[in-house]
Structure 1
Amino acid sequence: MRTSYDAPKTLSRPDWWGDDALCRTYDPDEFFPEDWRRGPGKLQAIVAKQICARCPAITPCLDGALQRREPVGIWGGLDPDERTQLVVNRGRSTQAPAA
């Protein structure tokens, strides 16, 4: 029986957007404020979004969060309320106009 350590050394894993993410250099808790709507959590969310704004992986990060329906945290520069609103707005733009 072969095990993973028997795999050829020439095979590399595919590129992953997370390898380029700026958040990897920060404490993950910084991107998961307890209450992003008010108080210290709101300030924490603003700082996290500023980090995201400079990140080269912002688009695939957001796309992944939307696909997984992430319920918490700052992903792709958006908090949960903003991601929900984005999904709602996308749904409206794809609907056929009423006849």
Structure 2
Amino acid sequence: MTASHARPRPLVEEWDWQYEGECRRLPPEVFFPEDSGRVGLRAREERAKQICRSCPVVNLCREHALAVRETHGVWGAMSARDRAKVLTGGSDPRV
């Protein structure tokens, strides 16, 4: 059986980038705004994306989220909708 997408290997060296993320300094709900309800969701996502854009590991974070097909939250300055568009061949709304 072949996987439809590659998952990162569980090696510490491949996950070290997460220690450098701007998100570590903020509450998780900033980057998972859908948990706060639909009203104002896009504004909350944009706030999270702005934080991501200044993050030193934004590209690694984005690559990870796309590779594992993360379905929730803002990762690498991309919402779940943004990632779904990229993965289905739609427009690429990256930074």
Same topology, TM > 0.5: yes
Q: Residue 29 of structure 2 contacts residue 35 of structure 2 at CA under 8 Å; is this kept in 1?
A: no
Q: Distance in 2 between matches of 1:27 and 1:75?
A: 14
Q: Distance in 2 between matches of 1:35 and 1:28?
A: 10
Amino acid at match of 1:24: R
Seq. identity, %:
34
Amino acid at match of 1:89: G
Structure 2 residue aligned with 1:55: 55
**Please, which runs of 5 or more residues in structure 2 have no aligned partner?**
1-11, 91-95
Structure 1 residue aligned with 2:7: none
Structure 2 residue aligned with 1:4: none
User: Matches of residues 1-99 of structure 1 in structure 2 within 5 Å?
Assistant: 14=13, 16-34=16-34, 39-89=39-89
TM-score, normalised via structure 2 length: 0.71
Amino acid at match of 2:23: C
Q: Distance in 1 between matches of 2:55 and 2:22?
A: 5
Q: Distance in 2 between matches of 1:25 and 1:45?
A: 17
Select the structure of larger CA radius of gyration.
1
Q: Residue 22 of structure 2 contacts residue 52 of structure 2 at CA under 8 Å; is this kept in 1?
A: yes
**Please, which runs of 5 or more residues in structure 1 have no aligned partner?**
1-12, 91-99
Q: Residue 35 of structure 1 contacts residue 42 of structure 1 at CA under 8 Å; is this kept in 2?
A: no
